[in-house]
Amino acid sequence: MPHKSWRAALAAYATPASLALLLLGFAAGLPYMLVFSTLSVWLREAGIARETIGFASLIGLAYAFKWVWSPLLDQWRLPILGRLGRRRSWLVLAQTLVALGLVAMAFCDPKLHLNGLIAIAVVVAFASATQDIAVDAYRLEIADDSHQAALAASYMAGYRVAALLATAGALDFADWFGASSLSYQHGAWASTYILFAMLMLPGLITTLWMREPPLPLRTQQSAERYGLSHQLVSVLVLIVLLISVPAMFTQFYYTDFASVLHGEISPLELLRDDRALMRALLYSVLTALCLSTGGRRGLAPVLTPVNDFILRYRWQAFLLLGLVATYRMSDTVMGVMANVFYIDQGFTKEQIASVSKIFGLFMTLFGAALGGVLIVRFGIMPILFIGGLTSAATNLLFVLLADMGPHLPMLMVSISCDNFSSGLATAAFVAYLSSLTNLKFSATQYAMLSSLMLLLPRLIGGYSGVMVEKFGYADFFLITALLGVPTLLLVALQWRKQSPAEPANNLSRDANQA
């Protein structure tokens, strides 16, 4: 496919769909940062330990496991709200839950009700992840491949504006309401979160205003293949499987097999007295039931989209999944400790907010917009490689900043470059993920891919506080930069295998028309 002209690339932004995705991206970015990044500053100011803050970031795993309930959005229309359409009804429900959840978080003081605050944040994260599933499916269904890059860039522009507003802006508002690192004020943070709950209103209005995507007959027939009861059974089986498998290995690890090998106790005594072994066997039975013939039938709503993906890409699917799993690892792991690092370096919230708003906002918008244009002009793979390279390389700037103390000019350079690379990389990656999906399973397959993108980075990011305590900030940022190397190798390998006559954004669409 020949490269498009610069004029055609820029014209891709001048559509109502681009405006809708811009506003929906704004609604998606607010809750994500409020339960991931800004919450860490709130907890730190309240005197919560860094290790606890790092583990609290595991709230983000809700985004990594959103594929578990994504088939519901493809195949079940909500009662009453379902009159709005398959996509819009789920968006209204999710956005309402996010707004109410943020208000509930505002009334929880982490000094007094830390567990309650974390529990509500988990609910907000699940609602926000559901919103992401619906938005992604909507985006895939309203435009053809030639406009997906522009829609992805519009979405990311709104997302990043909201992300900066929910981080730098939230710090500004918290200060204005009376919060400070010297004198913790819960009321200031409560007012901030209530304010941001109200900022979900533009996204809700957009959902009610935009048109519902048309539903082709074959897609509708595929969606109606499984009933609600089958869907709920599928979700239940998946939840049991996701809990039982890691729990099984954990309990086997704690089982005292060494005593049996040394002849200190008999196997029968181990079976009778070792509770870890009993729990391991119980989880083994649950895992076996989930993987039995009946369990696999229950998992059919999820396994069908997975089988479709594997059959379309065959052996190449493993390369693609490896690329997806590692692409955002470098900046995601670093991002868990970014705001904590700024505060520990001695920067004030006013300085962090000002630099993020002025330099970070401009560079993020510039990176996302440039990424969308370059993708339309040159294709996805070159920009995907450049985005991965810059995302990892900019972490080295934080290595330098770690040895410079509260050096404001270097903070400006670091945040500017980090936001530019993030905008560019994310625009390319969203377009790349979109190109891999089959429209018959748009919500489920995109949710699986984007969840895989977050799973490994979130798990490693949960130990970011431990890594900082052990290695220090400079070595931590160096490690996060090196995490980007495997991704670059996978992108280069995929780029090399891709036929010049068959761009990435056309690989999966033939199957959608079948």
Cβ-based neighbour number of residue 496 at 10 Å? 8
More confident residue, 122 or 5: 122
Q: State residue 295's pLDDT score.
A: 54
Enumerate residues 6+ apart whose C-beta is below 8 A from 254.
276
- Tell me, what's the pLDDT at 145? 58
Q: Where are the domains of the chain?
A: 6-225+306-513, 228-299
pLDDT of 222 > 90? The answer is no
Return all residues near 220 (Cβ < 8 A) that are at least 6 apart: none
User: What was the pLDDT predicted at 26?
Assistant: 93
In Å, the largest CA–CA distance within the chain is 79
CA gap 86, 83 in Å, rounded: 8
* Token code pair at residue 70: 């994504």
299: pLDDT confidence band, cut at 50, 70 and 90? low
Q: Which amino acid is at 441?
A: F
Give the pair of three-digit tokens for residue 425.
């990389």
Tokens found for residue 280:
């391991």
Long-range pairs for 179-183: beta carbons < 8 A, 24 or more residues apart: 179/45, 179/349, 180/349, 181/45, 181/343, 181/348, 181/349
Is a pLDDT exceeding 60 seen at residue 333? yes
% of the chain residues with pLDDT over 70: 82
> Which CA distances in Å does 468 have to 36, 336, 337, 484?
18, 11, 8, 18
Q: Are 124 and 207 in contact (CB under 8 A)?
A: no
Tokens representing 132 are 């992401």
Tokens of 159: 């997302």
Taking only the tens place, the pLDDT of each residue in 445-489 is 787 787 777 778 877 887 888 888 888 888 999 999 998 898 899
| Residues 21-34, mean pLDDT to the nearest whole number | 90
Query: Region 277-294: what's the mean pLDDT?
Result: 77
For residues 145 and 151, give the distance between their C-alpha atoms in angstroms, rounded to a whole number.
10
Dihedrals phi, psi of 170, to nearest 5 degrees? -65, -40
- Tokens in use for 197? 């709950």
| Number of neighbouring beta carbons within 10 Å of residue 461 | 25
Structure token pair of residue 441 = 């399973």
Q: Which CATH number fits domain 6-225+306-513: 1.20.1250.20, 2.40.180.10, 3.30.1240.10, 1.10.600.10?
A: 1.20.1250.20
**Helical pair 408-435 and 395-402, crossing angle rounded to 10 deg:** 160
CA distances from 399 to 67, 257, 381, 470 (A): 35, 45, 29, 16
Contact 38, 170 (CB under 8 A): yes
Would you say residue 17 has pLDDT above 90?
Answer: no
**d(C-alpha 117, C-alpha 393), whole Å:** 35
- Read off the pLDDT of residues 100-115 as tens digits, 9 standing for 90 and up: 999 999 998 888 888 8
pLDDT of residue 509 exceeding 50: no
- CA dist 460 and 7 (Å) reads 42
Most confident of 174-183, 205-214, 287-296, 392-401: 392-401
Q: Are 432 and 504 in contact (CB under 8 A)?
A: yes
b/e sequence 128-165, b meaning 16+ C-beta within 10 Å: bbbbbbbbbbbbbbbbebebbbbbbbbbbbbbbbbbbb
Distance CA 513, CA 165 (A): 40
d(CA 375, CA 425): 11
Q: What tokens appear for 82 in the block?
A: 């379902």
Predicted confidence (pLDDT) at residue 399 exceeds the cutoff of 60: yes
Q: In whole angstroms, how far apart are CA 28 and each of 23, 32, 34, 107, 130? A: 9, 7, 11, 22, 10
pLDDT band at 62 (very low <50, low <70, confident <90, very high): confident
